[in-house]
Structure 1
Amino acid sequence: MTGLRLIAAGHTRALRRAVFGGDDPLDEAARNIARTLHIPGNGPWVSAPSHAARETAALLGATPGIDPALADPDHGTWTGHTLDQIDPADLHTWLTDPAAAPHGGETHTQLLARATTWLRNQHQPALTAVAHPMTIRAVLAAALDLPATAIRRLDVAPLAVTRLTHHPDGWHLHLPQSTP
């Protein structure tokens, strides 16, 4: 059985401001929270190439391998812009049509295909992966055989930890137990 632990990279200044793309380091609040998390160390770790993903892994005590397939989504010409700087019609199209790329970057359909390919190649007994929350959402959609439109309907908070296990009938999602 293959077990995957998916950790969403912590908040960055850009993420808190709803800025598309970029490669910011974690903000101080995210660093402080990450330092308090205890993630048991079983199996290898991989990380998206982004600064935030690598820094999150490091603060959790890991030295991950870098996996380009876990990269943040490419937001094309929207990179560095906030929601209010995007043409509302283009934003609506991007949010409602998974094959649309009004920004010239990666579509939700392409992100899901990338996540699906990555997931199909995971055969280790245990692996921890750290990536942007949107990339984690795409991996979850792939694991659950959901359409690309589901990527925007799944909420994954920064520093959220999700676990998937692979069984003969496919991937199973395990939500963490609540802590008092």
Structure 2
Amino acid sequence: MTGTSLRLVAHGHTAALRRARFGGTDDGLDEGGLRAVLAQAHAGSDRRGPLGVHDTCLSSPTAAARQTADALGLLPTIEAALADCDYGDWSGLSLEEIAGTHPQALHDWLSDADSAPHGGESVTAVRDRVGRWLDEHRGAGRRVVAVTHPLVIRVAVVHALGLPTATYRQVDVEPLAIVRLTSQGTRWQLRLSAA
């Protein structure tokens, strides 16, 4: 059986990300985010590119993810399972705004992965969605690059390693971070390599 290689790439900076606003506004990359993506693409402009050889590229439906993939020279296919969390009524609002108007709801959301006080998805629901997608790709025998959101990558790592959902809080994913998961069909492994 041929192994599966999955590179999860966090999209570049957006204005909402820099201002700690909940997603859902479908912001594109900001100027600094685009410059950083182009610099990463240029830095890896050897014969294999910054992400190595791959069979397919997938992208979250959002503008930031699509623009990141495009700037990296990839030709992405949109994958709904890679969408950011649906933040419901909190979409576009900052943590400070929510803390000022709904402090208990924010506390609940930050402390309980099953909570969805905003009327959108809980972190557990995002993990379930992303986990189903990961499980479908585990034995595919393909090399996939997937451009998505930091939270999606965080829950993907937690699911791949079989950790409790609440541990997603202990995984930090910066813009343009690349996480590599590999599988021979039975389970995922987190693969860390030199830059």
Alignment TM-score, normalising by the size of structure 1 = 0.94
Q: Which moved more, 1:90-99 or 1:145-154?
A: 145-154
Deviation at 1:92, TM superposition (A): 1.0
Deviation at 1:124, TM superposition (A): 3.8
Task: Supply the distance in 1 between the matched residues of 2:36 and 2:135 (Cα, whole angstroms).
Answer: 32
Gaps of 5+ in 2: 45-49
Gaps of 5+ in 1: none
Deviation at 1:4, TM superposition (A): 0.2
Deviation at 1:168, TM superposition (A): 5.3
**SS of structure 2 residue aligned to 1:121:** helix
What pairs with 1:1-180 in structure 2 (closer than 5 Å)? 1-21=3-23, 22-37=25-40, 38=44, 39=50, 40-86=52-98, 87-122=102-137, 123-167=140-184, 170-178=187-195
Structure with the greater alpha carbon radius of gyration = 2
Task: Supply the distance in 2 between the matched residues of 1:51 and 1:13 (Cα, whole angstroms).
Answer: 12
Q: Deviations over 1:6-31 (max 9, x none)?
A: 10011100000011112101011111
**Percent of aligned pairs sharing the same letter:** 44
Question: CA 1:157–1:176 in structure 2 vs 1: closer, same or farther (change >3 Å)?
Answer: farther
Q: Which moved more, 1:169-178 or 1:4-13?
A: 169-178
Q: 1:60 is matched by which residue type in structure 2?
A: L
Cα RMSD (Å): 1.2
Deviation at 1:90, TM superposition (A): 1.0
Asked if structure 1 preserves the Cα contact closer than 8 Å seen for 2:81 and 2:129, the reply is yes
Asked if structure 1 preserves the Cα contact closer than 8 Å seen for 2:4 and 2:185, the reply is no
Task: Supply the distance in 1 between the matched residues of 2:110 and 2:68 (Cα, whole angstroms).
Answer: 28
Task: Supply the distance in 2 between the matched residues of 1:36 and 1:125 (Cα, whole angstroms).
Answer: 27
**SS of structure 2 residue aligned to 1:145:** coil
**SS of structure 2 residue aligned to 1:158:** coil
Aligned residues: 178
Task: Supply the distance in 2 between the matched residues of 1:17 and 1:43 (Cα, whole angstroms).
Answer: 35
Deviation at 1:121, TM superposition (A): 1.1
Task: Supply the distance in 2 between the matched residues of 1:43 and 1:124 (Cα, whole angstroms).
Answer: 10
Task: Supply the distance in 2 between the matched residues of 1:108 and 1:25 (Cα, whole angstroms).
Answer: 23
Task: Supply the distance in 2 between the matched residues of 1:52 and 1:10 (Cα, whole angstroms).
Answer: 7
Q: Which residue of 1 aligns with 2:47?
A: none
Deviation at 1:176, TM superposition (A): 3.6
Q: 2:38 is matched by which residue type in structure 1?
A: R
**SS of structure 2 residue aligned to 1:165:** strand
Alignment TM-score, normalising by the size of structure 2 = 0.87
Superposition misfits of 4+ residues, deviation over 2 angstroms: none
Question: CA 1:51–1:168 in structure 2 vs 1: closer, same or farther (change >3 Å)?
Answer: closer
Task: Supply the distance in 2 between the matched residues of 1:89 and 1:56 (Cα, whole angstroms).
Answer: 35
Task: Supply the distance in 2 between the matched residues of 1:92 and 1:167 (Cα, whole angstroms).
Answer: 40
